[in-house]
Structure 1
């Protein structure tokens, strides 16, 4: 029996191994990238999660980010430059960076997000801000996934365009902001980017709205047709060409 004190299963065995080896570089997956320094996670990026420059748009205009990137990006010290130049307070940068890190890591470490690759020695232009252990990152990703499943156990809404549903459902001001952009074209990631909010927080709003019937996926979007996969595909899950196989399968399903 699993007890509350037992650790959840690792979401990426390679991440666990790299942490034990105190590796430095970039862990690349289909849904995002984790940057490690001495085995600790120092930054994360994902197409599904707005970057730090988006989350801090109201605090720091795009021109400020561009100057910081131009002057400190080549040496990987953008974070330090923002603080030393007075554009951000040290604590403000740290809190925003941790939020962006956990947000992107949640998507990057999603189960079934394809093969994992590691590029040794690669560093992010932000530079070190507040390193986090791989164990903490994995636990937080697991906690967030369980929370989403409790709210609405149908992940189809996470990646599909969403559209308004029942207009009589009472919603909060924050949820109304999401509804205003639910046009049947934008995905939750698109909505998060336009609102300048973390991707995971937007997923929480979308799943709560879906559970209440306030949003749904467009009816004209067909359900994917299951495609029988040849038995040999399961034998090459560690092969780097599996990403190509996934894209081919998705194309067949679309057809």
Structure 2
């Protein structure tokens, strides 16, 4: 197992090489491993698989609670949902992998506290579709790069979402409309994701796209010495100026 300078979590890679089983705990959540593969992830910044399943209508809330009560202590909630006919194996797998990558993005983010590993700890969901540590690392880096390419303002991810009225004739997508309805100047992107029952990362992307199109206020507070963000894109040109965004990103990185 090769660990490089760009590795998001050297400890995760070492545990994968050891084929360890247990729970990796960080500031923003937990990764669960079985034989060195990640089988589940949880983060307070990302709606869990229970929220994604029930909010999306794939599973009624009482069906989830029943599975948790009957199979949680055996670590077989996923298997119970399939065997009871509540959902299909394909539905569970798709929702599980989405929840895993979503939570892992935050778990593997910059951490200020200690990273710990508890050997032997198992998750109540059970194994659904294990993911290799290399795959998780690669996807996390890809998502970070994607966020930066859309709009280089990390403060948007944790700031209350303050909407701006769209320009006359500007058509919003259904996803944008449902997001902006909850943008009350108090909810952050992750709070909106929880309310909508959608993955948090997808919501972060949408908020940055809205900011690039001038439909969301950029955060007003900035660190001393950092350059000001550019003005929103004009109403006549809703597409962001990619060259300008790259220059702002480079300036921000140079100031850190």
Instruction: Give the C-alpha shift of residue 225 in structure 1.
Output: 7.1
Q: Look up the match of 2:94.
A: 95
Q: Contact 2:13–2:133 at 8 Å: present in 1 too?
A: yes
Residue 217 of structure 1 and its aligned partner are, at CA, apart by 5.0
- Aligned partner of 2:19 among 10, 18, 22: 22
Quick check: 1:43 aligned with 2:40? yes
Residue in structure 2 matched with residue 82 of structure 1 by the alignment = 81
CA shift for structure 1 position 224: 6.1
Please state how far the C-alpha of 1:92 moved relative to its aligned partner: 0.9
Whole-angstrom distance in 2 between the partners of 1:83 and 1:8: 41
Give the superposition deviation at 1:160.
1.3
The Cα offsets for residues 217-254 of structure 1, whole Å up to 9 and x where unpaired, read as 565xx55679xxxxxxxxxxxxxxxxxxxxxxxxxxxx
**Paired residues, number:** 218
1:212 aligned partner: 213
Deviation per CA, 1:92-130: give whole Å up to 9, x if none. 111110111001001110133532111111111000000
After TM superposition, the structure 1 = structure 2 runs for residues 1-255 of structure 1, keeping only pairs within 5 Å, are 9-57=6-54, 58-112=57-111, 114-168=113-167, 170-217=171-218, 219=220, 222-223=221-222
Report how far residue 142 of structure 1 moved. Answer: 0.5
Mapped to 2, the partners of 1:113 and 1:152 lie a distance apart of 25
Query: Hey, what's the Cα distance between the residues in 1 that align with 2:178 and 2:128?
Result: 31
Q: Deviation at 1:196?
A: 1.0
> What SS is found at the alignment partner of 1:118?
strand
> In structure 2, the residue corresponding to 1:36 is in which secondary structure?
strand
- After TM superposition, give the deviation of residue 49 of structure 1 in Å: 0.8
**Does the 8 A contact of 2:21 with 2:120 survive in 1?**
yes
Q: Distance in 1 between matches of 2:138 and 2:219?
A: 34
Q: Which runs of 5+ in 2 are unaligned?
A: 226-256
Q: SS of the counterpart of 2:23?
A: strand
Q: Larger deviation: 159-168 or 204-213?
A: 159-168
Write the distance in 2 (CA, Å) between the matches of 1:68 and 1:8. 42
Q: Is the 8 A contact 1:31 1:47 kept in 2?
A: yes
TM-score normalised by L of structure 2: 0.81
CA deviations on 1:22-67 (whole Å, 9 max, x unpaired) are 1111111111110000100000011111111111111111111111
1:165 deviates by: 2.0
